[in-house]
Structures are given as structure tokens and as C-alpha cells.
Structure 1
Amino acid sequence: MTPVTTFAGQRVALFGLGGSGLATARALIAGGAEVVAWDDGAEGVAKAQGEGIPTADLREQDWSGFAALVLAPGVPLTHPEPHWSVRQAQGAGVEIVGDIELFCRERRAVAPGAPFVAITGTNGKSTTTALIAYVLRQAGRDVQMGGNIGTAILSLEPPDAARVHVIEMSSFQIDLTPSLDPSVGVLMNVTPDHLDRHGTMEQYAGIKERLIRGADLAVVGIDDAPSRAIADRRAERLVRVHVGAGPTQGEGLRAEAGIIRDAAGADLADVNGIGSLRGAHNWQNAAVAVAVAQALGLSADEIRAGLASFPGLPHRMEEVGRRDRVLFVNDSKATNADSTEKALTAFRDIHWILGGKAKDGGIFPLVPYFERVAHAYLIGAASDAFAATLEGAVPYTRCGTLDVAVEKAAQNAAASGAPEPVVLLSPACASYDQFRNFEVRGDRFRGSCRRSRKNGFSAPAPAPPAAWCRPPD
């Protein structure tokens, strides 16, 4: 835990008692603050009360006595309209912050300049956060990883000059961190997302830009127009990361065909053959990790070794095993066409399992990649709509359930003449028609594959990623 001492002796309102909210309450109390916590849901309030965290309906409190409102990132700050707790704080002139703001203040108070890497972006931020943390940890660094990737930042060990915090940040979290000042700020990319919470694309991009504005060093992917504009506004201490052919600009890195090169054209790393880093989107992730690792003093050999052994994250193009020459890949996190596009560009001879609760646009944007698909296996509520898009372009089988789809795909892939056919779960859909979330769907796929051991299925040797994602004991 990171005790928050910067509010010692002060009264603090806290709204939102999910995982990060409870962690924040504990950290504030440990640091000497007087906390009054609340939530719109009875379950969160009950959990807090069970831990002895003081609770009271904030609508009935005297807000003039509060030093701050600590708001959970899932609670609307501005759009579609401010939450009632936000309006009450604003009416009383009480500042509104989030848990990462508390961490930033604590860092400045107890360990100024302690290494702090903050990562954001519309896509790729979780894999990049995990990859940076993994490479640093493999090199022997004391690493604490958390934020939007799953572990609340105040649950981690406190900032220290010999400890690196690697923190994924959503736009919601950035919006609640006005004094964000990481050692290294990373912006992967900016494409339209969460506009229901930010109003406009300009507002969304502006929030993302704030992460690098206060950073000592900024690392920015420049393959989309908003990110290029953000990089152009950064005058100094900037590393631009570009994927594809062409020269880099200034101090930058380029990732082309899996080779990461510096501005002078010197090879820094080769991610070809690393299963967890397949595809152009992962070349960007790897190039960003190289830039950050260099900035934190790792040697070229340490960086290459970390990249080579990276096991990847669950449900994100996760190689769950093989049956003879057939590769099985769990990409359950691909809940829309844009995400599935990354997987379809990374493989050929694909036996594609897709379907679920469809998003707007369906799979029509994926038509240019249909030539990579040997056969499609349809599951869930989107089957009829997806069959209409596939008709005449890709042979398909209606399977209904995931277990049936895995068995049929495995049989057909094994019978094909392709050198490395791929059974790919990349649904391009939400999971809610058949599964509670994409994690449950991916676990079901993994289990269906592993039940085929009698038919020669072999799982990869590395431990599950969760084992290395957790902070060390």
C-alpha cells in the first residue's frame, strides 16, 4: 500500500467504492486523513463498512469541511452530465481528484523524481504497460505495475528512488489527475473512443495530451493524425515512434517488418518470431517499450532478452497451444472489428471463430482481410448478420456455441494442407449474449482447447501471465 500522507488531518469525501475506491480509502486512512465514503450501490457501501471505512450519504454532508472529493474514474465528471457528487463538490468549491493524483502528490512529497512511467492510448496501452513492466523486471528492477490494467495504484508499494511504477491510465483517470508529472509519459495513439464521456474528439484528444504535457520525457506514437499533432506541440524531450517505412523524425524509433531501428537506422531489436508480439500493432508496442527501457538505463542486451521472453497478456492474441502444426490463439479481448483487424493481419490460413453481441458496423470493415480466412465459425447472436457479410466471400459454419466451434475449427485446420493453420478466437463482438465478459469467454476457449490433450494438444511452457503481472511479494 501507498499511504497518502498529503491529506493527513483533513476531511476527504470519497465517492465510488469499487476496487480502486476501497484501496483509496484504505490509503487515505493509513496516511491520517478523515474519510467519508459513499457509493450509489449498496454493495460497495456494505464492503466499506465491513472493513471499518467510515461511510455516510454525501448528499447529507456539509461540504465546506471537505478538503477534496476523490472520485472513482468510472463516475461521470463532465459527460453526459456531472454526477451529483461532482455538482456538490463544485458548488462548495472543493477540488475533485482521482487516486492517481493522490499518488502523484505523495511521490512529490516522499520521493521526488522516483521513476514513474505513465502509459495511455486508445489501443495497445495494456500490452505496452505489461511489456514495459516485464522487460524492466527481467532486468532486475523493482517494478510496481498497476492503474487501469487492474491493480489500483494506491495498492502498490510507495514511490522510491529505486522502484519503478509502470501505470496504465485511461482518459477518465487522466481527467482526474491535474498535476500528472511522470518521468516518462507514453501516448500510443488516439482514435475516437469514449465520446459519450468526453463530448468531442477534440476534448478526448486534449485529455490524452495532458499525460505527456507534464512528463520529463514523452514517447509518442505518430501513426495517427491527432497523435502527430500532439507530438508537434511538444518542443523537447520527445521520442517519436513510427511503424512502417520512411525516416524517423528527430529523436525517434521506427518499427518496420518487426525490426526496431533508431533515427540513424541502427537495429535495436527484432521481434520477428516472438509469438506474443505478432503484428504491426505489436511492433509499435515493442518500439515504445524499447524507448522507455532505454530512457531508464537498460542495456540493449537486457531489452532484447526481455522482449524475447515476454509471455503476453491473457485474451490478447494469446497463443494457448498447438496440436501438431495447428496454432490456437485466444483473442477474446477483440470485442469490435477494429481489434479483430489486428489479429487478421497477423496470421494467414485462419480458422476464425467469431460472433456474440455485435457492435455497430458489424464485420463489414474486415472485408479486405477475408482472403486470409480459410473458414469462419459463427457463434452467438450475431450469426445471421455475420453470415450475410461472409456469404460468397468466406466459407462458414454456424456452430451456435464456442465449444462446438473449437472442435469443428480444430478438425478442419488439421485436415488442411496449410503449413501453420491457425484456430483464432477473435469475436469482433461483445460477449454478453453467452458469457459474463470477454475473460470468461477466453477462459472457455482455452479450456476447450486443452480438453483436446488426448488428440495431441500441447500448451506453451511459460507460466500464466497473471503470475508475473502481480507485484512481487
Structure 2
Amino acid sequence: MIAVSTFKGANVAVFGLGGSGLATCAALKAGGARVIAWDDNPASVEKASAAGFETQDLRAIDWSSVAALVLAPGVPLTHPAPHWSVSLARMGKVEVIGDIELFCRERRANAPASPFIAITGTNGKSTTTALIAHVLAKTGHDVQMGGNIGTAILSLEAPGTGRVHVVECSSFQIDLAPSLDASVGILLNVTPDHLDRHGDLAGYAAVKERLVAGVGPGGTALIGVDDNHCQAIADRVERSGKPVVRLSIRNPVADGLSLDGTDIIRTKAGAVTYRFSVAGVGSLRGGHNAQNAMAAFAACEALGIAPDKIVAAMKSFPGLAHRMEQVGRIGHVLFVNDSKATNADSAEKALSSFGNIYWIAGGKQKEGGIEPLRPFFPRIARTYLIGASSDAFAATLGDHPHVMAGTLDKAVAMAAIDAAASGTTDAVVLLSPACASYDQFPNFEIRGKAFRDLVLALPGVKAI
């Protein structure tokens, strides 16, 4: 745990008492702050109180004595309207920050030279974060990974000499970290997401930009430039005087990393200085993972790791659960869990990586549904629709073969039979829902686990 000493002796209000909120309370208390904790959920308040934290309704406190409100990232800061705790803090002229900001202040105060890699993007950030941490660990580094992936940032070990923090940052977390100053900042892409929390796409992109615009002195910004927002962001960050490495899977770049066939090439001033490939690494299948590999390579190289060592470490990357996770095989049929694909843009990555797909899709749909995926329909042998979006997705699919499976268990059973009967050598049963899970499952992790359990229960399956 990181003891947050920068608020020692101060009163700090904490709203939102989930996992990261409780970790924040513990870190502040360990650093000598007086913590006043609250949540809209009485059960969460009771849990915090049982853990030994002072709880009090923030509507009843004297805000003039409070140094900061630390807000959980899931609590609205601006849109669709500020949470009542935010409004009270602003009325009392109290700053509103999050746990990433507490980490940044603690690092600056106690170990400003310790490497800090921060990763964001609409899609790919979890894989990139895990890949960087994997390479660092394989090359002998003391690495701490957390943030929006896995462990709350303040539950990690404290910054120190020789220790690298690799932190995934959501747009909600960046919004609560006004002085975010990574030594390596990575922005992979910007596509529509969380617009209800940021007002519009421009507002969402502006929040993402802050991660790379805030890179500290001597640091580097790594920016994927395959969408218009990120192209403009890269230009602005470069004009501000910060070093920028551009990443593209679509076009050559003069200074950065791009694709040459299946090879990734690094160029400087237009000249190729290094070439490698991850095409044979199953956990890094597809063009989107080529971009993730580019970002990981550039980040690790920025820390002084030799290119050959980076590439060797990448080849043993096991991948992440629920992100194009290879679950098992029955004969010639591969079963892939891509439950993390909660929007069409993310599902596109999986659909573009396979052929002869038996696609399980559906859930609580997002804006645009699966219309953007129409160019990939020829890759799909049959679609098995589940959840609340079934009728809407069926209308988009039209005459393309599809089945109204309704539930995941029925979809897996149907798809397994059809894929086995196809007689092809490359059939893939793919769960890539292009939807949120909330109509039938609490989250994408539980949906993915259900898929994995159903697949592993099939007769004759060999787990991967």
C-alpha cells in the first residue's frame, strides 16, 4: 500500500466506497490524514465503518475544514450532472480529485525520478498495460501494475528507485487527476464511448489528451494516430515541445512505429532502425494487437531496455482473460472469449482477426449497434443472438444467417454443433458481444467466465 503523506494532518472527504474507495481511505489514513468517508449505498458505508474508517454523511460536514474531496471514478464529475458531493465541494471551494492524483502527488514528493507509465485509449489499454508489465517483469524489473486494471493504484507498492509503475487510466480517472505527469504517456485511440459522462466526443477526447499532454520533463508521449482526434492530439503535443512517438497500423510514420506487411518497423527521420514481428504470437493476434505491441515496445525502449529483449519477452505474453482469450478446442474448432468487446469498435478487432466465425453477439447495445460491423459479415458463418439487443441486431443482419439463441448457454451449444459440422479447419466460436453485459450479467468478466465454463463443459474439449 502507498501511504499518502501529502495530506498528513488534513481532513479529506472520500466519496464512493467500492474497492478503490476503500483503498484510498486506507492510504490516506496510513499517511496521517483524517478521513471522512461516505457513499450513497448504506451497505458500502457499513462496510467502511466496519473496516475502521470514520463515516459521516458529507451533506452534514463543515466543508471549510476539508482539504480535498477524493471521488471514486464511477461517480459523475460533470455529466450528465455533477454528483451532489461534487457540488458541495465546489461550493466550499474544495478541490475534487481521484486516487490517480494522490499517487502522482506522492510520487512527486518522494520519488520523482521513478518511472511511471500511464496508458489510456478507448480500446486496447488493458492489453497494452499488461503487455508492458509482462515485458518489464521478464527483463528483470520491479514492476507494479494497476489502476483501471486489477489492483487499485494506492494498493500498489510505493514509488521508489528502480521500481516501475504501469498504470491503466480510464477517462474518468484522468478527469480526476489534474496534475497527471507520467514519464511515458500512451494514448492508443479515441472512438465514441462514455459520452454521457463527458458531454460529447470532443469532451471525451479532450480528457484523454490530458494524459499525453501532461507527460513530465524528459518524458515521452506515445500516440496512436489512426483516428482524426489522435492525429490532432499528436500534433498539438508535439507543438508544445514534448517528444512524440507516433504509432500506426494503417500508414507509414516518419518517427515512430508502423506496419510493413506483418512486420512492425521503427523509423527515425524516415529511416527504418528496427524491425520485428508478433504475427505468430496467439495472444497478440490481429492489427489492433500490433498497435498494442508497438506501444509496449516504444514504452519499454524509452526505459532503456534493449529491443531484442523486448521482443523476446513479448513472445511469451499469455494475453488477458476476456480479451480474445483462447479457451479451448474441439477438433478443428477454436473457442475464443472476447467478452470485453462491449462496443462495435472493440468487436471489430476480433472479427477482423478470424475467418469462418460462429459469432455470439448481443446484450445491452450501445449507440450505433452493429451497423459499423457490416463489412465483416462475410467473415461470419452464422450469428447467435443473445440478450436485449437481439431484435435490433437481427434487423441489421437481415438475410445474413443468424439464430435467436436468447441466452449464452443456448448460443454456445448451438454454435459448437454448427462449427463442428462445418468440416472446415479454421472454424471459430467467438463470443464478442459488441454490447454491455448488464441485461443478463453484472459485468463483462462474469459473462466471460460463464462462456469459459460452458465451453470447458463441452464433451471432448481440450483447454488451452
TM-score by length of 1: 0.92
CA distance in 2, matches of 1:359, 1:105: 36
Q: Equivalences for 1:301-450 in 2 at 5 Å?
A: 301-392=308-399, 394-450=400-456
Alpha-carbon shift at residue 208 of structure 1 (Å): 1.3
Q: Out of 206, 217, 222, which is 1:219 matched to?
A: 222
Q: Which moved more, 1:21-30 or 1:432-441?
A: 432-441
CA RMSD of aligned residues (A): 1.6
Q: Which moved more, 1:107-116 or 1:295-304?
A: 295-304
- Contact map agreement 1:268 1:300 (CA 8 A) in 2: no
Dislocated runs of 4+, deviation >6 Å:
none
Q: 1:107 to 1:175 in 2, by over 3 A?
A: same
Secondary structure at 1:243 match in 2: coil
CA distance in 2, matches of 1:172, 1:358: 21
Q: Equivalences for 1:201-240 in 2 at 5 Å?
A: 201-215=201-215, 216-234=219-237, 235-240=241-246
Q: 1:141 to 1:213 in 2, by over 3 A?
A: same
CA distance in 1, matches of 2:413, 2:200: 44
Alpha-carbon shift at residue 266 of structure 1 (Å): 4.1
- Contact map agreement 1:254 1:262 (CA 8 A) in 2: yes
Match of 1:298 in 2: 305
Secondary structure at 2:5 match in 1: coil
Q: Deviations over 1:79-138 (max 9, x none)?
A: 222222212221222222111111111111111111100111111111111111111111
Tell me if 1:35 matches 2:40.
no
Secondary structure at 2:352 match in 1: helix
Q: Equivalences for 1:83-98 in 2 at 5 Å?
A: 83-98=83-98
Match of 2:200 in 1: 200
Q: Which moved more, 1:43-52 or 1:262-271?
A: 262-271
Alpha-carbon shift at residue 145 of structure 1 (Å): 0.6
Q: Which moved more, 1:5-14 or 1:402-411?
A: 402-411
- Contact map agreement 1:15 1:72 (CA 8 A) in 2: yes
Secondary structure at 1:137 match in 2: helix
Q: 1:63 to 1:385 in 2, by over 3 A?
A: closer
Alpha-carbon shift at residue 15 of structure 1 (Å): 1.3
Q: 1:361 to 1:180 in 2, by over 3 A?
A: closer
CA distance in 1, matches of 2:214, 2:443: 35
Match of 2:51 in 1: 51
Q: 1:405 to 1:108 in 2, by over 3 A?
A: same
- Contact map agreement 1:244 1:257 (CA 8 A) in 2: no
Match of 1:465 in 2: none
Q: Out of 262, 266, 284, which is 1:262 matched to?
A: 266
Tell me if 1:143 matches 2:143.
yes
Secondary structure at 1:236 match in 2: coil
Alpha-carbon shift at residue 432 of structure 1 (Å): 2.8
Q: Deviations over 1:175-212 (max 9, x none)?
A: 11111111101111112222222223322222211111
CA distance in 1, matches of 2:377, 2:397: 8
Alpha-carbon shift at residue 76 of structure 1 (Å): 1.6
- Contact map agreement 1:258 1:280 (CA 8 A) in 2: no
Match of 2:253 in 1: 248
Q: Which moved more, 1:43-52 or 1:430-439?
A: 430-439
Q: 1:407 to 1:2 in 2, by over 3 A?
A: same
Query: Which amino acid in the other structure matches residue 111 of structure 1?
Result: A
Q: 1:381 to 1:36 in 2, by over 3 A?
A: closer
Match of 2:188 in 1: 188
Query: Which amino acid in the other structure matches residue 378 of structure 2?
Result: E
Query: Which amino acid in the other structure matches residue 253 of structure 1?
Result: L
Alpha-carbon shift at residue 267 of structure 1 (Å): 4.1
- Contact map agreement 1:272 1:278 (CA 8 A) in 2: yes
CA distance in 1, matches of 2:124, 2:117: 15
Q: Deviations over 1:340-381 (max 9, x none)?
A: 111111100111122233333332222211111112222333
CA distance in 1, matches of 2:191, 2:410: 35
Query: Which amino acid in the other structure matches residue 220 of structure 2?
Result: L
CA distance in 2, matches of 1:195, 1:398: 30
> How many corresponding residue pairs?
455
CA distance in 2, matches of 1:244, 1:156: 37
Match of 1:17 in 2: 17
CA distance in 1, matches of 2:279, 2:159: 35
CA distance in 2, matches of 1:40, 1:383: 34
Query: Which amino acid in the other structure matches residue 221 of structure 2?
Result: A
Secondary structure at 1:6 match in 2: helix
Query: Which amino acid in the other structure matches residue 185 of structure 1?
Result: G
CA distance in 1, matches of 2:93, 2:395: 56
Tell me if 1:163 matches 2:163.
yes
- Contact map agreement 1:379 1:398 (CA 8 A) in 2: yes
CA distance in 2, matches of 1:336, 1:212: 24
- Contact map agreement 1:279 1:345 (CA 8 A) in 2: yes
Alpha-carbon shift at residue 226 of structure 1 (Å): 1.0
Q: Which moved more, 1:343-352 or 1:292-301?
A: 292-301
Alpha-carbon shift at residue 275 of structure 1 (Å): 1.3
CA distance in 2, matches of 1:27, 1:352: 44
Secondary structure at 2:7 match in 1: coil
CA distance in 2, matches of 1:354, 1:200: 27
- Contact map agreement 1:117 1:166 (CA 8 A) in 2: yes
Query: Which amino acid in the other structure matches residue 446 of structure 2?
Result: V
Query: Which amino acid in the other structure matches residue 399 of structure 1?
Result: A
CA distance in 2, matches of 1:422, 1:266: 37
Alpha-carbon shift at residue 419 of structure 1 (Å): 2.3
CA distance in 2, matches of 1:409, 1:175: 42
CA distance in 2, matches of 1:66, 1:342: 46
Alpha-carbon shift at residue 443 of structure 1 (Å): 1.1
